[in-house]
A and B are shown apart, each in its own frame.
Chain A
Amino acid sequence: KAGVTQTPRYLIKTRGQQVTLSCSPISGHRSVSWYQQTPGQGLQFLFEYFSETQRNKGNFPGRFSGRQFSNSRSEMNVSTLELGDSALYLCASSWTPGPYYEQYFGPGTRLTVT
C-alpha cells in the first residue's frame, strides 16, 4: 500500500513569492494534517482538513492557507514568503480525525526561501 506522498520534495523560492505544496494521503484516508518543522521551533501544527473542511488551525499567520479536494488530496499555500518560512513541511493522513496512532506522515517538502 502506497504511503503519503508529497510534491515537490524540494523547492527554492524568493522572498515575496508564493508557493503551493501538495499532499496525497494514503488511499482511503480522508483526514490530512499539515506541520512545519524548523530547527528553531521544531514541529508545529499548521492545520487539519477532513472532508474538504478545515477543522483546526494552529497559531500561524493568515499567509498560510490550505484546502482539500474531494479525492482527499490537500494543498497548502504560503503567500508573501519570508526567510523564516524556510522549513520542512510535513503532511500526515488518517482515516478520520481520530487517534494519533493512526496518523501517518509523508516525507515532507523542503522549502528554502532566499
Chain B
Amino acid sequence: QKEVEQDPGPLSVPEGAIVSLNCTYSNSAFQYFMWYRQYSRKGPELLMYTYSSGNKEDGRFTAQVDKSSKYISLFIRDSQPSDSATYLCAMSTDSGGGADGLTFGKGTHLIIQP
C-alpha cells in the first residue's frame, strides 16, 4: 500500500461547479499537508499549506484535513477553465528541511469544461 493515495482521474466538471479533490494516507506521523497545482510542462506550484487538522480557506480554494480519518481534501469553488491542471497532494512529518522530505500523491488530472 502506498503511503499516499490519490485518484489520478481525469476528473471533468463544467465551469462554475464545485470541485472536490481528495487524498488518503497511512502514516499517522504526517503533520503538514500541502496542495500543489501543476500545469503541463511546468513545475508544481504551492496552493495551500496546512498544519494538523482543520480547514483553511484562500479565495476560491479550501483545504480540509481530517487526521482521525487520514483524509485530506481540496475544494475549488466557481471553477474556471484556467483551473484545468494536475493537482498534487503532499505531506510531511516536519515543516521543512527534515530528513524525509515531502511525500506526494500521484496527482489528479482536472478538466474544467467551458
Q: A43-B104, A45-B102, A55-B97 are in contact. Are A101 and B88 (CB under 8 A)?
A: no
Residues in B neighbouring A106, C-beta threshold 8 A = 43
Judge whether B34 is part of the interface by a CB distance below 8 angstroms. Answer: yes
CB of B97 within 8 A of CB of A90, answer no
Q: A39 to B9: give the CA distance in the assembly, Å.
A: 13
**Which A residues between 95 and 110 are near B, CB-CB below 8 angstroms?**
96-103, 105-108
CB of A102 within 8 A of CB of B96, answer yes
Residues in B neighbouring A90, C-beta threshold 8 A = 43-44
CB of B43 within 8 A of CB of A98, answer no
Q: A44-B104, A45-B102, A48-B101 are in contact. Are A97 and B96 (CB under 8 A)?
A: yes
Q: A43 to B45: give the CA distance in the assembly, Å.
A: 13
Indicate which residue in B49, B92, B97, B102 contacts A98 across the interface (CB closer than 8 Å): B97
Q: From residue A80, how far is it (CB to closest CB) to chain B in Å? A: 24
C-beta contact mask, A2-43 vs B, less than 8 Å → 1, else 0?
001000000000000000000000000001010000010111
C-beta contact mask, B83-99 vs A, less than 8 Å → 1, else 0?
00000101010011111
Q: Size band of the A side of the interface?
A: 20 to 34
Q: From residue B87, how far is it (CB to closest CB) to chain A in Å? A: 12
Indicate which residue in A4, A42, A45, A101 contacts B105 across the interface (CB closer than 8 Å): A42
CB of B43 within 8 A of CB of A43, answer no
Q: From residue A17, how far is it (CB to closest CB) to chain B in Å? A: 24
CB of B49 within 8 A of CB of A100, answer yes
Q: From residue B110, how far is it (CB to closest CB) to chain A in Å? A: 16
Judge whether B106 is part of the interface by a CB distance below 8 angstroms. Answer: yes
Q: A43-B104, A90-B44 are in contact. Are A97 and B97 (CB under 8 A)?
A: yes
CB of B46 within 8 A of CB of A100, answer yes
Q: A58 to B92: give the CA distance in the assembly, Å.
A: 13
CB of B104 within 8 A of CB of A107, answer no
Q: A105-B44, A107-B43 are in contact. Are A43 and B95 (CB under 8 A)?
A: no
Q: A42-B107, A43-B88, A55-B97 are in contact. Are A100 and B44 (CB under 8 A)?
A: no
Judge whether A56 is part of the interface by a CB distance below 8 angstroms. Answer: yes
Q: From residue A90, how far is it (CB to closest CB) to chain B in Å? A: 5
